[in-house]
Structure 1
């Protein structure tokens, strides 16, 4: 990671996404930190000036070679120092591949297998289960004096 990338990253905001396609979920085997060796949903840190949905699209493409579109918000975790948001990641195009850096492999795994696999952490399993429910929060426009304002509301 370059110094410019380090300086442009908001280390207190991160996102991830659950991409489901034909009964499979896209997972990446992490290569560092507490997730080292685990199969997790792809994601990463928000850059300054980026909205979370843009981060999801960028991180997915960088880490997996797969282009996605951010869908509904599945869950969000807050702490005193940061937040982590998880979206449904709608598959657009691309062949899954490892980035050779942050992950050692990227796989389409059968959803039921992923929910039983010991190398898939609990948070990833919970978010897969939430994505399967097809509920969450939808991006919705609202009336204001400014144009282009949206918020997520439950459905």
Structure 2
């Protein structure tokens, strides 16, 4: 919007300033997957809260796969290693499967369903997204502190890594 003022408040150091995907372990996706991944990363970087207890940020994050676990390789903005946390994806299997099904229903409903039906499906989709975000926060507890919105955005990226076109 022309003339809109940007916030001049300094950003918290407890944030991510870069998110990358380890292509060696995750691999490249098809164009739709790459687009979804890029949007998810953009949304994370736009606004996030990412704190490592006892460490000063800002941080960079590289996501990869190590022995079927999601690897959070965290560094300082200058590139110094902070930690790598391996996160089992097993607890996410059900919610990822359910989320994938409800997203498919949502995109199909947009084509033919009434606004009331679309809204009902979307409420279910948002509820599952919140459930997955809470699970992510829980699984990272003690290692990384996230606010709700950052957890939602990170789950979107985790889902985009599994999304099948």
- State TM-score, norm by structure 1: 0.26
Higher strand share: 1
More helix by share: 2
TM-score normalized with structure 2 length: 0.25
